[in-house]
Homo-oligomer: A and B are copies of this chain.
Amino acid sequence: MNDRRFPWLMLVPRHPGLLEWHHLPRQQRHQLLDEVSVLSEALEDVTAPDKINVGALGNLVPQLHIHVIARTRQDPCWPGPVWGNGAPELFADDEQPDWLPALLEALPVNFLDRTNDNE
């Protein structure tokens, strides 16, 4: 997510019109959780947060999407949720998060390719 305040990832299963996690067939529900878990673990290893927040809300954008966010006691929304809580701080156009290279390095080999193949 384009918000410097937190290391914040989002997963969007490529099922147009899908609204709820539990609407997926069981195996795909589990696969999505496995992918959330891989990203949670990588974020935890790389950013050493106080807590990982996982959320499937979708009140504003109903298409199913899962937030995975690394939270710290020093972040500007702690201990509240990040959603609807203050204004995002955008990255510059040519800027990438300082934690991103290490996160990509921490992912299993071909993780992004594999998830992209699982349409």
- A interface with B by C-beta (< 8 Å): 19-22, 26, 29-30, 33-34, 36-37, 40-41, 44, 50-60, 62, 71, 78-81, 83-85
Contacts and interface: CB of A to CB of B under 8 A. Distances in A.
A80 B81 CA distance: 10
A53 B56 contact: yes
Given A21-B37, A36-B22, A55 B58 contact: no
Nearest to A60: B79
Counted per complex, copies of this chain come to 2
A51 B5 CA distance: 27
B37 A59 contact: no
- Name, among A29, A34, A56, A71, the residue most crowded by chain B CB atoms within 10 Å (CB to CB): A56
Q: Which A-B residue pairs are the 7 nearest by beta carbons?
A: A59-B79, A22-B37, A80-B84, A22-B40, A55-B55, A54-B56, A81-B83
Given A29-B37, A81-B81, A53 B44 contact: no
Nearest to A26: B34
27 contacts: A19-B51, A20-B40, A20-B44, A20-B52, A21-B54, A22-B40, A22-B44, A26-B34, A26-B37, A29-B33, A29-B34, A30-B30, A51-B58, A51-B59, A51-B62, A53-B59, A54-B55, A54-B57, A55-B56, A55-B57, A57-B81, A59-B71, A59-B80, A79-B84, A80-B83, A81-B83, A81-B84
